[in-house]
Structure 1
Amino acid sequence: MTASIIDDARFGPFHRKMFLLTAGGQFLDGYLLSIVGVVVLGMSEDLGISASDEGLIGAAALVGLFAGGLVFGRVTDRIGRQLLFTLHFVVIAAASIASMFVNDPTLLVILRFVIGVALGADYAIGSALLSEWLPRAQRGRVMGMLITAWFVGAATAYVVGYAFVTLIDSGAWRWALGSAAVPAVVFIIAGTGTPESPRWLISRGRVDEAREVLRRVYGEEATTPEAIESLQVDETAHGLGFAEVFRGGYLRRTAFVGLFWLLQIVPLFAIYTFGPTILNAFGMSSTNDSIIGSALISVLFVIGCLPALRLIDTLGRRLLIIWSFALMTIPLAILGLMPTAPVAVVIACFCAYAFFSGGPNILEFIYPTELFPTEVRATAVGIGTAVSRIGAAIGTYLLPIGLDLIGVGATMLIMAAITLLGFAICVALAPETRGRRLADASATSPVGATAESQAMGDRTGVSHDPSAVDR
């Protein structure tokens, strides 16, 4: 089968713009989830809120992420990507501005929930739209780079929050919470005129609209009968609905995506959120030293993504995620077995864990978009997002309790066991999608000459069909 115009297109300015807009959502996710932790003390003093209220304000966005991913993934597959892609930035900007004027903690909880819903929707909307435009040669690397925007957003939140707290004596938290509206408005303006996914349009039978979108992006040569026919073959509707991701071949994929994302995020979010607390538990008594140590660990989370971005197309998706989980387990086990280890060993273990987590981090955005067809792609991403946020909530809630009740050694061993379970899940379920057309990778029945065993990959991660990469 001849590849479609999208699969074989050259990566150009349009694709870079789409990546930057999609990365904007991840930047805001990292920024908005982190900014609250920076200014929570001043907020508590001004509003007189209780510890329980603080917990609700912190958890509200995570609950919203769960709801937004679960609901708007399906909505995105039903009504399209482009409209919601713009609206979710509008909601984030409006809720951020409104947060500057609250005097009631309950209202702030509601606004944080709304922001979380918009962020959860962004995971489904942005990743589906971007993956459906990317050429296959760059799809893995570009999708994987999205996670780096999250860490950049989180780091920026700490810098901005610190600046507001330092420069403004009273009400710094209001300006910090409202500051997210600035990048949101920038992304609204930059995203004006963003085209709808032609894959989605064709899957809904709107061929003329898809033809016009392709003409705008690629020129007249993209609207030939042959080019349109190749996309129509790929995107012929199969009547797939929400329930289909829990049936047949897609059930296996849904289980894999949800489980690996969940088991990765439980220890990762706990370590990222409570880094200084954990380091203090290991005997790093100086607050400044524990903050510096946590900052170093945060940098390694970003650095670990860089070699992973190369390995997804050389080592492959399957082997990368298997080896990553295996290597992530080792430093956590060492920390669990050696709770009185020297500080240098503790820092080295956490840095190793952060570095090796690069593989699963980038595959959060690659696997869900490659394993499901256009009709349910955003739905699948939304489900993965929702499940992962359950893990985030579990990890952040239970970690301080675990440190208090069973100690840091036993807590680290539990984290190691969770990560080891992720390794077992990946060995059993992880497919190989390297180099395949989006239609082939997402098919559970033959597409062209691609069968289920080809789409899922064999247990070694190597395709049995040498022609699969060339279609």
Structure 2
Amino acid sequence: MDQPPPSRTEIFRVDDAPLLRFHKRLALHSAGGPFLDGYVLSIIGIAMVQITPQWGLHSAQQGLVAASASLGIFFGSFLGGRLTDRFGRRGLYTVDLVAVVVFSVAQFWVDDFWWLVVLRVLIGVAIGADYPVATSLLTEFTPKKYRGPFIGSLTVMWFVGAAVAYVVGDILARVSDQGWRWLLVSAAVPAALTALARIGTPESPRWLASQGRIAEADDIITSIFGPHAVIENESGLRAGGVGALWKSGYLGRILFVTAFWTAAIVPLFAVYAFGPKILAGLGLDGRMANMSSAVITILLLVGCVLAMATINKLGRRTLLIQSFAWSGSTLLLLGLFPDAPTYVILCLFASYAIFTGGAQVLQLVYPNELFPTEIRGRAVGLASSLSRVGGALGTYMVPTALDRWGVGPTMLGAAAVTVTGLAVSVAFAPETRGKSLADTARI
């Protein structure tokens, strides 16, 4: 049930507003982008099982196909961040998903390795552009009490998308030896539904106010929250371009966000893109490896839900540190004991899936809280882009590492990356729990 608007007549901040049905709809619609991200990056792992022998792809080519969407997200996140800070959130909020539909459908007719890479890069560009747009819009409308869980829910939807991809993949891959074409096209369905649902979403009043369009911002605030709601000025920052990110100390924040985000996704993306192959190397073959990947994905979802539920209780800093510490420990054990019994291997993978939830959820929470409205999109976009460089390199290197060194050393490498994220978090992670956006954006 929605809480009723405040009955008092005095001014109140949007950061202190009650939770409305509008917020719930906005969170659901904003989750479409992360859902597609998880779906697109996971479905390729199952599709590659058919594509590889049909096209005779070697390890480097497999890695490039798997990493191509992440490369696209690198460019798309950066571009989307710049565009949304300059032109607003509302316009790109629908257009980017229309592009996902077009490029996903085009994959059905692809018969060339390089064309497949190009199309998946373009899909990645469109999905990447959605991150700074959707997360900024949701952040700027959501009251502080619900901001962490709501933004965290977007990460949860990443894992929902990944889990759905494994289930859909297992079904469609058995249709025919060309089932991989339907796998790749299938992303167009959730993209189209999300684009339609987003039509009519209002512009962010915080962004309008940052552009001096006060009357328009007031109209939107009044229509949603009532006549006594206001938003606080966050910074007064007016500098343009990426240079604004490190004015007044923001360079340190962007480096922190990029470092921990990269450390969180490198092992995760490797597991998703080549989960069945990794599990096969650990003794699980065929359909058992595919279904185990789906179960692990569901447990990753559980871990993110638990993190989202405890983010306000534990705080951002504690949640991040504990997540890296425990997930890194499980990867270390996998690397040290790759020949352990099957049930031990599955328990360790399940533990990693649950413990990594905190680091995954905070990837979108921290950058949206640590930067003011004027540069929020660029900050989220740049951090997402830079972290995807590591994610793409990690994904690209996994098949080669598995072929040359085996599963054990590959898992030890993933553990080393996670421990690096732990060290960065202990040294630099701030606490933003319970603070308004005006407070969290201050240096």
Structure-2 separation of matches of 1:9 and 1:267:
38
Cα–Cα, structure 1 residues 276 and 157, in superposed 2: closer, same or farther, change >3 Å?
closer
Structure-1 separation of matches of 2:416 and 2:257:
19
Q: CA deviation at 1:402?
A: 2.4
Cα–Cα, structure 1 residues 126 and 9, in superposed 2: closer, same or farther, change >3 Å?
same
SS at match of 2:378: helix
1:242 aligns with 2:242: yes
Q: Which residue of 2 aligns with 1:468?
A: none
The residue correspondences of 1:293-372 to structure 2 (distance < 5 A) are 293-372=292-371
Give the AA of the match of 2:281. A
Structure-2 separation of matches of 1:214 and 1:285:
55
* 2:266/2:391 contact within 8 Å kept: yes
Cα–Cα, structure 1 residues 286 and 191, in superposed 2: closer, same or farther, change >3 Å?
closer
Q: CA deviation at 1:329?
A: 1.9
Q: Which residue of 2 aligns with 1:461?
A: none
Cα–Cα, structure 1 residues 266 and 308, in superposed 2: closer, same or farther, change >3 Å?
same
Alignment match of 1:124 (pick from 129, 132, 150): 132
| 1:133-179 Cα shifts (integer Å, max 9, x gaps) | 10101000111111111111122222223333334x36433333222
* 1:203/1:235 contact within 8 Å kept: no
Structure-1 separation of matches of 2:117 and 2:397:
21
Q: CA deviation at 1:54?
A: 4.8
Give the AA of the match of 1:136. K
* 1:241/1:375 contact within 8 Å kept: no
1:288 aligns with 2:287: yes
5+ residue gaps, structure 1: 445-471
Q: Which residue of 2 aligns with 1:134?
A: 142
Q: CA deviation at 1:195?
A: 0.5
Q: Which residue of 1 aligns with 2:190?
A: 183
| 1:101-150 Cα shifts (integer Å, max 9, x gaps) | 33444333322211110111111111111111101010001111111111
Structure-2 separation of matches of 1:202 and 1:237:
12
Q: Which residue of 2 aligns with 1:193?
A: 200
Q: CA deviation at 1:190?
A: 1.2
The residue correspondences of 1:148-297 to structure 2 (distance < 5 A) are 148-167=156-175, 169=176, 171-222=178-229, 227=230, 230-231=231-232, 233-234=233-234, 236-239=236-239, 241-282=241-282, 284-297=283-296
| 1:397-422 Cα shifts (integer Å, max 9, x gaps) | 22232233333333322222221111
* 1:97/1:181 contact within 8 Å kept: yes
* 2:74/2:388 contact within 8 Å kept: yes
| Larger deviation, residues 116-125 vs 415-424 | 415-424
Q: CA deviation at 1:368?
A: 0.5
* 2:45/2:272 contact within 8 Å kept: no
Structure-2 separation of matches of 1:279 and 1:170:
23
Give the AA of the match of 1:60. S
SS at match of 2:99: helix
Cα–Cα, structure 1 residues 65 and 135, in superposed 2: closer, same or farther, change >3 Å?
same
Q: Which residue of 2 aligns with 1:396?
A: 395
Cα–Cα, structure 1 residues 71 and 158, in superposed 2: closer, same or farther, change >3 Å?
same
TM-align CA RMSD: 2.2
5+ residue gaps, structure 2: 1-9
Give the AA of the match of 2:251. L
* 1:204/1:237 contact within 8 Å kept: no
**Total equivalences in the alignment:** 433
Q: CA deviation at 1:17?
A: 0.9
Q: CA deviation at 1:359?
A: 0.5
SS at match of 2:420: helix
1:60 aligns with 2:59: no
Give the AA of the match of 1:96. S
| Larger deviation, residues 355-364 vs 266-275 | 266-275
Cα–Cα, structure 1 residues 112 and 277, in superposed 2: closer, same or farther, change >3 Å?
closer
* 1:202/1:235 contact within 8 Å kept: no
Cα–Cα, structure 1 residues 96 and 3, in superposed 2: closer, same or farther, change >3 Å?
farther
SS at match of 1:132: helix
Q: Which residue of 2 aligns with 1:411?
A: 410
| Larger deviation, residues 51-60 vs 72-81 | 51-60
Structure-2 separation of matches of 1:43 and 1:413:
29
Q: Which residue of 1 aligns with 2:4?
A: none
Q: CA deviation at 1:281?
A: 2.6
Structure-1 separation of matches of 2:287 and 2:185:
28
Q: CA deviation at 1:87?
A: 0.7
Q: Which residue of 1 aligns with 2:40?
A: 32
Cα–Cα, structure 1 residues 136 and 92, in superposed 2: closer, same or farther, change >3 Å?
same
SS at match of 1:145: helix
Q: Which residue of 2 aligns with 1:451?
A: none
SS at match of 2:145: helix
Give the AA of the match of 2:404. L
Q: CA deviation at 1:236?
A: 3.4
Q: TM-score, normalised by structure 1?
A: 0.86
SS at match of 1:7: helix
Cα–Cα, structure 1 residues 29 and 86, in superposed 2: closer, same or farther, change >3 Å?
same
SS at match of 1:387: helix
Q: CA deviation at 1:328?
A: 1.5
Q: Which residue of 1 aligns with 2:5?
A: none
Larger radius of gyration: 1
- Residue identity over aligned pairs, in percent, reads 45
